[in-house]
A and B are shown apart, each in its own frame.
Chain A
Amino acid sequence: MMKFMFMIIFMIPLCFKKNMFWLVQNLMMLMMFMFMNLNISIYYNTNLSYMFSCDIMSFGLILLSIWICMLMLMASENLLKMGFYVNFFLLNMLFMLLMLYLTFSMMNLFMFYLFFEGSLIPTLLLIVGWGYQPERIQAGMYLLFYTLFASLPLLMGIFYIFNKSNNIMFYFLKFMSFDFYLLYFSMILAFLVKMPMYFVHLWLPKAHVEAPVSGSMILAGIMLKLGGYGLLRILILLEKLSLKLNFIWIIISLVGGFYISLKCFCQVDMKSLIAYSSVCHMGVVIGGIMTLNYWGFMGSYLLMIGHGLCSSGMFCLANINFERLNSRSLYINKGMMNFMPSMSLWWFLLMSSNMAAPPSLNLMGEISLINSLMSWSWLSMIMLMLISFFSAGYSLYLYSYTQHGKYYSGLYSFYTGVSREYLLLMLHWLPLNLMILKVDWVMIWF
């Protein structure tokens, strides 16, 4: 496992030479395929090294992060053409990949925290450095401070656990149980803000909209899943209190998911709509995790991976439109089927995955989560019905508004999709819809 960390570290000197953009991207793809060859098992952590280990959950998420980082580079060709600090961008990307890789592969709760926080910095730099609008200042501040405000108490919680149990490895912590209310809240809130849950989700639309395409992709693809990963790791040691108190989070996230899917209909900005739909999906994921069911844990992991691919793809699509029309507003991006019918196919495929249509991973994840939430309480049926229905509503709204109808009459010139963009979208869609054939590899992680 350390070999991959060194591979990333030794790619850093490459960033300082000229014309290394595509080489770095191809090396990341190579790393992806090398990583797939590792031995993994459900029952124990494999590939132990100094502080690294690998079980199926971290394996899948590391794969997802390498994949998305690779696709981020493919999507940011605009930066290469314009020459906007390409070297620093590559450096940023590699730093981000390093931080994410280390986050998921650490066996140690504190080290996990260290790199969890560390991955915020390249994100902040991406948003403020390569974003387009003046609002990105506020977006960066919100991102940083929302996350830090909740995760510093997490640091306190980790040290409390360390002092009480004298070790901090995940594997040994599974046998402890803590009964301290403050500890429960401080540890869970960090991940809930990251996920994000309904009331603390304000950073997400801002950050997603103001970020460039690579920033949006990594935010939607992986950063939200850090919260899910953390929750899945630490709920085991907070079991006693979770059984008492988890209903709060389930209720907030389910009702919040309903409210957010209503808010999606009022959005004019494409990226803002996709960002709010991310919050809605993650609300269902939080609900599923908090029920502490087997179905809930499995389904939430599956939906995290599916959502990472799907939202990231949708952000790529929004950017493809943005590069041509220089606007993200729905009033300008309409009737695209007249120009790029092949791109409409990809819009439709990714949008249908977003609304959990078969045969995507999202569908399997949502079925599992609906199962777990209903087995927890049948009253959640009402909210789940509303969420599913409205998520179809806004996905269709986005699709039909951007693709069908007459195009904006102020357009001057246009070029259709290039193969790089089609490749990018296909690499998002292919795992999303074909992994359903062997879904136990991405679903069952313990």
Chain B
Amino acid sequence: MKKFSICFISFFFLFFMSMVNFMMMIYFIMNNMVIFLEWEVITLNSVSVVMSILLDWMSLLFMMFVLLISSVVIYYSKSYMSSELNLNRFIILVLLFVFSMILLIISPNIVSILLGWDGLGLVSYCLVIYYQNFKSYNAGMLTALSNRVGDVFILMVISWMLNYGSWNYIFYLMFMKNDYEMYMISSLIIIAAMTKSAQIPFSSWLPAAMAAPTPVSALVHSSTLVTAGVYLLIRFNLLLIDMLFLKILLLLSGLTMFMAGISANYEFDLKKIIALSTLSQLGLMMSILSMGMPDLAFFHLLTHAMFKALLFMCAGVIIHMMNDTQDIRLMGGISNYIPMTSLCMNISNLALCGIPFLAGFYSKDLILEMVSLSNLNLLIYYIYYLSTGLTMFYTIRLIMYLMVNDYNLMSIYNLYDEDYTMLKSMMVLLFMSVISGSMLSWMIFLNPYMIYLPLNMKMMVVYVSLLGGFIGYFVSNMMIYSMNKFLMTYNISSFLCLMWFMPSLSTYGLNYYFLKLGQNLLKYIDLGWSELYSGQGMYYILKNYSIFYNFYQVNNFKIYLFSFVMWMMILYYFMLMKF
């Protein structure tokens, strides 16, 4: 029975589906085919809620990548989570996640996107709080609620799109571009995508979500969940060209890229560094999207998925070996002992930096060249190139800490690399992260881009990379006694290190006001004035009236009889007056 565990079955199934999608994708690109399946759920007043499936090359390609990564991750988690009692629950959650992602990818219809989007948010919540400690609980809440903000915006988009009579947005986006409603829709969609892809101001959930198990991070937080927002904007890009909001998105995503790069340099938690690098690359994807080049964003999305997943997997192996610590100050010199893993790590890191002819080079370099070619202001140009330099900076710093410096954990240790399950899965991704860049650039770009740049602008990439590398090397060599001047820069470094205070703002800054408002409402209205004007108040009024009445009821009999006689006298008097 061991052969037929759920991990194996799902691995084979997903891998098979991935290959099927690959074949279909090539066929569809060659023949320029699109398959569109539709099933009507309900028609109400001439608006139809339909469940549609759109299979064109973009969705098939993305599906192929998602299925490949997820199959490899499931295979990997067979060994990574082997000591977990509830492994079946975990795998089923991962499969649910993949299913939601696929629903998102194949939907040309905003209602079925909502299905996938909501599903993604909820299942990622379940996955993040898989380990039951306080950190996971808080991280899960942050993740779920940040994603929920996006959900809410998509709900609003659904209701604004009611105006057009159909929720299949791909049909009318280009034609209705100048309407007021479309303007509203596009703003809402952009904000929704920003929450999912963790741009500023919603970026606090991504580093916090590292409380999830590493396979989850590899699948969810590197390639699938966070790219859902980018994918949504790619689908909507016909709508978004030449919009004002897109300029704001450019600024925000650029700042995300920059901020994540800086914060990654201050971090000492391995997974957080990788998370922040994901955030930085997401910012890159969003910003190139907002400059009007969705193809490049898609390209970078796909290649990034490959090497980032690989990077997370390697991090998982390392964490396992380091007795479950994640602090890089305790690691060092592992390249001596675990050559295969450090090989994978190095290749993925170099692909991340954009070293020539690995996967990341094709997408990243093309992006930077297109950025240099387009007309933009100096600030954006600086942000792009500085972020590239920062990428190199933290990459080299990470490599130095992990592989070159001394081992700091324990005096007697055993680091082993022979977990073949995990290695096999990493090999697949290694292969893909080397060749996928070139493969994709030959397949999806039918006409190559014409790049014509002056020499220094072209070499600017090399300059900043080298600069970043050098600084990374120097920073990682700093000893403890050279840090005694650090308190002078305390304010600046806490600002930069704590992700520009966004986690605190998203949690403490918002929580307090709403919870306090809720408590005050409960105390003063529900248990206060509402009670006074209805139940308790009426009771007291009536009771007091009754007590007052009793004062007249309990009386001397003579007074009563006398009052009756007086009444009769008064009537008699009036009557006589009348006559």
Asked if the two chains touch in their complex, CB atoms less than 8 Å apart, one says: yes
Question: Which A residues form the contact surface with B (CB < 8 A)?
Answer: 141-142, 145-146, 199-200, 202, 259, 262-266, 294-295, 298, 335, 337, 341, 348, 352, 357-359, 363-364, 366-368, 370-371, 373-375, 381, 384-385, 388-390, 392-393, 396-397, 400, 404-406, 436-437, 439-440, 443-444
Closest to A299 in B: B44
5 A-B pairs whose Cβ atoms sit less than 8 Å apart in the complex: A337-B132, A374-B162, A388-B148, A388-B152, A396-B125
Contact (Cβ within 8 A) B521 A262: yes
Contact (Cβ within 8 A) B158 A367: yes
Name which of B282-290, B425-433, B512-520 contacts chain A. Answer: B512-520
Cβ of A48 to closest chain B Cβ, rounded Å = 28
Q: How far is B122's CA from A405's CA once the two chains are assembled, in angstroms?
A: 18
Q: Is B141 an interface residue (CB 8 A)?
A: yes
Q: How far is B42's CA from A204's CA once the two chains are assembled, in angstroms?
A: 34
Chain A hits for B144, CB < 8 A: 392, 396
Q: Is B424 an interface residue (CB 8 A)?
A: no
Closest to B159 in A: A374
Closest to A205 in B: B526
Contact (Cβ within 8 A) A199 B129: no
Q: Is B145 an interface residue (CB 8 A)?
A: yes
Chain B hits for A375, CB < 8 A: 159, 162
Q: How far is B151's CA from A385's CA once the two chains are assembled, in angstroms?
A: 10
Q: How far is B89's CA from A112's CA once the two chains are assembled, in angstroms?
A: 49
Contact (Cβ within 8 A) B522 A263: yes
Closest to B153 in A: A385
* Most interface-central of A200, A358, A444 (chain B CB within 10 A): A358
Contact (Cβ within 8 A) B530 A199: yes
Contact (Cβ within 8 A) B156 A381: yes
Closest to A372 in B: B159
Contact (Cβ within 8 A) B155 A367: yes
Q: Is B406 an interface residue (CB 8 A)?
A: no
Q: How far is B89's CA from A397's CA once the two chains are assembled, in angstroms?
A: 21
Chain A hits for B158, CB < 8 A: 367, 370-371
Q: Is B295 an interface residue (CB 8 A)?
A: no
Contact (Cβ within 8 A) B125 A367: no
Cβ of A192 to closest chain B Cβ, rounded Å = 14
Contact (Cβ within 8 A) A393 B114: no
Contact (Cβ within 8 A) A202 B151: no
Q: How far is B535's CA from A142's CA once the two chains are assembled, in angstroms?
A: 7
Q: A358-B114, A404-B129 given as contacts; is B517 within 8 A of A389 (CB)?
A: no
Contact (Cβ within 8 A) B156 A370: yes
Contact (Cβ within 8 A) A366 B155: yes
Q: Mark B4-48, 1 if CB is under 8 A from A, else 0.
A: 000000000000000000000000000000000000011111000
Q: How far is B148's CA from A397's CA once the two chains are assembled, in angstroms?
A: 13
When the two chains form the complex, which single residue of A146, A295, A352, A392 contacts B44, counting CB atoms closer than 8 Å? A295
Identify the 3 closest CB pairs spanning chains A and B, nearest first. Answer: A262-B518, A374-B159, A358-B115
Chain A hits for B43, CB < 8 A: 440
Q: Is B414 an interface residue (CB 8 A)?
A: no
Q: How far is B140's CA from A374's CA once the two chains are assembled, in angstroms?
A: 31
Contact (Cβ within 8 A) A389 B148: yes
Contact (Cβ within 8 A) B118 A357: yes
Q: How far is B49's CA from A298's CA once the two chains are assembled, in angstroms?
A: 14
Contact (Cβ within 8 A) A202 B155: no
Closest to B521 in A: A259
Q: Is B149 an interface residue (CB 8 A)?
A: yes
Contact (Cβ within 8 A) B44 A389: no
Cβ of B475 to closest chain A Cβ, rounded Å = 39
When the two chains form the complex, which single residue of A202, A295, A335, A443 contacts B534, counting CB atoms closer than 8 Å? A202
Q: A200-B534, A262-B521 given as contacts; is B155 within 8 A of A396 (CB)?
A: no
Chain A hits for B111, CB < 8 A: 367
Cβ of A11 to closest chain B Cβ, rounded Å = 37
Contact (Cβ within 8 A) B41 A294: no
Contact (Cβ within 8 A) A371 B159: yes
Closest to B119 in A: A358
Cβ of B114 to closest chain A Cβ, rounded Å = 7
Cβ of A134 to closest chain B Cβ, rounded Å = 17
Cβ of A377 to closest chain B Cβ, rounded Å = 12
Q: Which of B129-178 contact A (CB under 8 A)?
A: 129, 132-134, 136-137, 140-141, 144-145, 148-149, 151-153, 155-156, 158-160, 162
Chain B hits for A262, CB < 8 A: 514-515, 517-518, 521
Contact (Cβ within 8 A) B41 A396: no
Closest to A373 in B: B159
Chain B hits for A146, CB < 8 A: 534-535
Closest to A261 in B: B518
Chain B hits for A393, CB < 8 A: 145, 148
Q: How far is B164's CA from A428's CA once the two chains are assembled, in angstroms?
A: 36
Contact (Cβ within 8 A) A202 B132: no
Q: Is B331 an interface residue (CB 8 A)?
A: no
Chain A hits for B141, CB < 8 A: 396-397, 400
When the two chains form the complex, which single residue of A341, A390, A392, A439 contacts B151, counting CB atoms closer than 8 Å? A392
Cβ of B138 to closest chain A Cβ, rounded Å = 10
Q: How far is B148's CA from A295's CA once the two chains are assembled, in angstroms?
A: 24
When the two chains form the complex, which single residue of B45, B119, B137 contacts A295, counting CB atoms closer than 8 Å? B45
Q: How far is B111's CA from A436's CA once the two chains are assembled, in angstroms?
A: 13
Contact (Cβ within 8 A) A335 B44: no
Q: Is B84 an interface residue (CB 8 A)?
A: no
Cβ of A309 to closest chain B Cβ, rounded Å = 19
Cβ of B464 to closest chain A Cβ, rounded Å = 41
Q: Mark B112-125, 1 if CB is under 8 A from A, else 0.
A: 00110011001001
Contact (Cβ within 8 A) A370 B521: no
Q: Mark B496-539, 1 if CB is under 8 A from A, else 0.
A: 00000000000000000011011101100110001100110000
Closest to B115 in A: A358
Cβ of A343 to closest chain B Cβ, rounded Å = 13
Contact (Cβ within 8 A) A298 B44: yes
Closest to A385 in B: B152
Q: How far is B137's CA from A404's CA once the two chains are assembled, in angstroms?
A: 8
Contact (Cβ within 8 A) A266 B137: no
